[in-house]
């Protein structure tokens, strides 16, 4: 899918000399270690998939790529555009979050983010769009380095963050870049932010430890000292190309301004809305306005005593303008039923609908926590929100895991009950399409669990700090780290299945249905007169292994796994919110206002109070919520294991 879009974009660009714009929608952030409560560096990104006909539903796999030796002449080949690059003789182990649609020549790998065994972490990329004048002088290369292959080029060989940036620069100089992109790379000592500006031009800067940044799909770097080789890595001709392109722009002091020279004249609306929302959420007292001509990249909180937490990062990636008191409404809510009407009486002005950080197209959200007190080989933790960030829990994994849980690996293109991604996707779909029933109860459920995750992870970190100066012992600990992560993943995934089933029962009690098998099909799929039985995946098979009892970590309440997952034959139409993924949306160019698409309406809901209340709990033997981190808590401790689906709006 991505490969097809990419090829079309490149062809049009070559013919029309227009910049690529495929309704890109990722958004990244960085928080320096001096601004966090625990002294760790935080960075991450939402990965959006707004591409018709599968917008917002695109399976991802979280996996470990084993270390491997290669012979001379072996090459990495990017199936998305034909890019090739020589393999290193010996490549390191690393984690990656790949597209499931890879390996068959139709898509590309899109590893997106990960840790390697040297402790280097990377998030690649937030797509950015070079301007027309620059591309006429230094065009993108159709077979150059693209997002699809970037992680697999860098992480197997870079032993430091600086080395990763230098390698990226070398590859871009030699092979060219297929896209404009922004990239973040970190190790325990440094964090680097890089803007790939055109076919062969780039600038990377070491991130100040006392700053934070929010960046959507455009360029943000202003003036930097290109002579500062300690803190800046840049292509030799970055100023020269801008001048020769006739687009050399300066700041108010007359200094070379990178973003103005290489980026668009003004921010696209979706870039502005997410950047503004992210900054004002992290810094409510900020003096910025929505109409500002540009947003400074590296920022200081207005309150000099402000310290950020993991939960602040999660909240930003989930943000749907809640903090703006009704000024904006997520544009995936156009036409959605509101308080029982059919959407026809929507009182929201069209100019209030904006593209949110926690939008309908997010397929992967991640927060990297780089803790310098951990052993180097651990790297840190990735808090993985695989699926739609608005209703998906963030789960911690050390960077040195040797394997990942089986539910992260199914390469299925449509709903699969054995898949982590498809399960949390379905939970999100039920929550967002039935807000009159669920309100914010699903997200609140995950938030409570995350409090316990954070507390448990802090205990594990303290245990592992002692290995900081013992590299052999740290290496030996990988087996235990992996075992713990697999057992935690198993318990959590079974909780997902229980929770999914309870939500389905709640909808049934309200006279509604949810058919994830049909809803996960492409938007342009035509329903046959006779149902196509082969398209429906088989329910998971119960095995002795699946029914084994696993002794959980402290504070967890385990219950036997439940695998009785029904496959509903009928249900709601799919993707009614994702108009960014509709066929009639402009793919190239940056429209100031997204085109509204007629929405498919679901049947008029029953009054929630008429339905039986479904309890999701371990209370009194209920085989659900095996983690039990729910409503009644005492500052994250002594959870009472009670949760009900109620309208909490």
Q: Which residues are catalytic?
A: 26
Query: Which pair of tokens denotes residue 389?
Result: 């960030």
CA-to-CA distance for 504 and 513, rounded, in angstroms? Answer: 7
308 forms bridges with which residues in the sheet? 36
Closest CA to 555 of 624, 490, 636: 636
DSSP-derived secondary structure letter, 282:
H
185 forms bridges with which residues in the sheet? 122, 192
Cis before 403? omega within 30? no
CB 60 within 8 A of CB 115: no
CA-to-CA distance for 408 and 417, rounded, in angstroms? Answer: 12
Question: Is 620 buried (19+), middle (13-18) or exposed (0-12) by CB count in 10 A?
Answer: exposed
CA-to-CA distance for 382 and 384, rounded, in angstroms? Answer: 6
- Cα 333 to chain center, whole Å? 20
Left if phi > 0, otherwise alpha if psi is -120 to 50, otherwise beta: which for 379?
left
DSSP string, 214-241: EE-SS-------TT-TTTEEE-TTHHHH
DSSP-derived secondary structure letter, 250:
B
CA-to-CA distance for 374 and 471, rounded, in angstroms? Answer: 11
Question: Which residues, 6 or more positions from 509, have their beta carbon under 8 angstroms from its beta carbon?
Answer: 611, 612, 614
Question: Is 635 buried (19+), middle (13-18) or exposed (0-12) by CB count in 10 A?
Answer: exposed
3-class SS letters over 79-117: CCCCCEEECCCEECCEEEEEECCCCCCCCCCCCCEEEEC
CB 594 within 8 A of CB 468: no
Query: Which pair of tokens denotes residue 562?
Result: 């439940």
Residue tagged 């306005």 (tokens): 289
CB atoms within 10 A of CB 363: 25
CB 242 within 8 A of CB 134: yes
Measured CA angle at 145 (ends 144, 150), to 5 deg: 165
CA-to-CA distance for 336 and 309, rounded, in angstroms? Answer: 33
Helix (H) or strand (E) holding 490: helix 478-509
CA-to-CA distance for 115 and 521, rounded, in angstroms? Answer: 32
Query: Which pair of tokens denotes residue 285?
Result: 């007292």
End-to-end CA distance of the chain: 37
CA-to-CA distance for 302 and 298, rounded, in angstroms? Answer: 13
Closest CA to 421 of 407, 401, 442, 404: 407
Helix (H) or strand (E) holding 194: strand 191-196
């Amino acid at each position: 899918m991505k490969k097809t879009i990419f090829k079309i974009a490149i062809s049009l660009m070559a013919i029309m000399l227009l910049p690529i714009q495929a309704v890109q929608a990722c958004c990244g952030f960085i928080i320096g270690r001096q601004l966090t409560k625990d002294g760790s560096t935080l960075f991450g990104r939402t990965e959006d998939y707004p591409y018709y006909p599968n917008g917002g539903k695109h399976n991802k796999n979280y996996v470990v790529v084993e270390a491997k030796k290669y012979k001379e002449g072996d090459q990495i080949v990017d199936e998305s555009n034909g890019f090739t690059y020589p393999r290193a003789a010996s490549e390191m182990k690393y984690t990656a979050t790949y597209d499931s649609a890879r390996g068959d020549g139709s898509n590309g790998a899109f590893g997106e983010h990960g840790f390697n065994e040297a402790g280097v972490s990377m998030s690649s990329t937030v797509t950015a769009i070079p301007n027309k004048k620059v591309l006429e002088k230094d065009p993108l290369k159709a077979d150059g380095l693209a997002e699809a292959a970037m992680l697999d080029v860098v992480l197997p060989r870079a032993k430091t963050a600086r080395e990763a940036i230098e390698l990226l620069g070398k590859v871009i100089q030699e092979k060219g870049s297929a896209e404009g992109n922004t990239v973040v790379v970190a190790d325990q000592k440094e964090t680097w932010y890089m803007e790939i500006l055109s076919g062969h031009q780039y600038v990377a800067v070491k991130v100040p430890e006392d700053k934070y940044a929010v960046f959507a799909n455009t360029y943000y770097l202003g003036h930097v000292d290109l002579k500062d080789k300690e803190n800046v890595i840049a292509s030799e001709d970055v100023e020269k190309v801008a001048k020769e392109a006739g687009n050399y722009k300066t700041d108010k002091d007359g200094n070379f301004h990178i973003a103005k020279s290489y980026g668009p004249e003004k921010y696209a609306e979706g870039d502005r809305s997410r950047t503004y929302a992210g900054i004002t959420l992290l810094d409510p007292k900020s003096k910025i306005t929505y109409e500002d001509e540009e947003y400074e990249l590296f920022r200081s909180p207005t309150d000099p005593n402000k310290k950020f937490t993991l939960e602040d990062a999660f909240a930003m990636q989930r943000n749907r303008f809640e903090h703006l008191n009704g000024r904006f409404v997520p544009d995936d809510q156009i036409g959605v039923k509101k308080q029982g009407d059919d959407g026809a009486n929507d009182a929201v002005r069209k100019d209030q609908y904006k593209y949110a950080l926690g939008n309908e197209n997010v397929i992967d959200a991640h927060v990297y926590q780089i803790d310098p007190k951990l052993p180097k080989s651990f790297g840190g933790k990735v808090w993985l929100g695989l699926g739609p960030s608005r209703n998906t829990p963030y789960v911690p994994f050390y960077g040195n895991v040797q394997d990942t849980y089986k539910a992260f690996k199914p390469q299925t293109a449509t709903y699969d009950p054995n898949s982590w991604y498809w399960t949390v996707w379905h939970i999100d779909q039920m929550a967002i399409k039935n807000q009159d029933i669920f309100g914010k109860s699903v997200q609140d459920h995950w938030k409570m669990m995350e409090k316990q995750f954070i507390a448990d992870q802090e205990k594990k970190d303290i245990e592992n700090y002692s290995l900081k100066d013992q590299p052999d012992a740290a290496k030996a600990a990988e087996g235990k780290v992996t075992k713990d992560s697999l057992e935690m993943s198993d318990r959590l995934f079974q909780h997902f299945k229980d929770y999914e089933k309870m939500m389905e029962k709640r909808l049934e009690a309200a006279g509604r249905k949810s058919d994830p098998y049909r809803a996960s099909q492409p938007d342009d799929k035509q329903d046959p007169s006779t149902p196509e039985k082969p398209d429906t995946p088989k329910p998971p098979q119960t095995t002795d292994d699946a029914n084994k009892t696993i002794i959980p970590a402290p504070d967890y309440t385990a219950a036997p796994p439940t695998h009785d997952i029904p496959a509903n034959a009928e249900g709601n139409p799919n993707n009614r919110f994702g108009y960014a993924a509709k066929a009639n949306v402009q793919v190239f160019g940056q429209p100031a206002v997204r085109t509204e698409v007629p929405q498919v309406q679901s049947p008029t809901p029953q009054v929630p109070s008429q339905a039986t209340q479904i309890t999701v709990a371990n209370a009194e033997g209920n085989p659900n919520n095996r983690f039990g981190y729910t409503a009644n808590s005492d500052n994250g401790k002594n959870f009472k294991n009670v949760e009900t689906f109620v309208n909490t709006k």
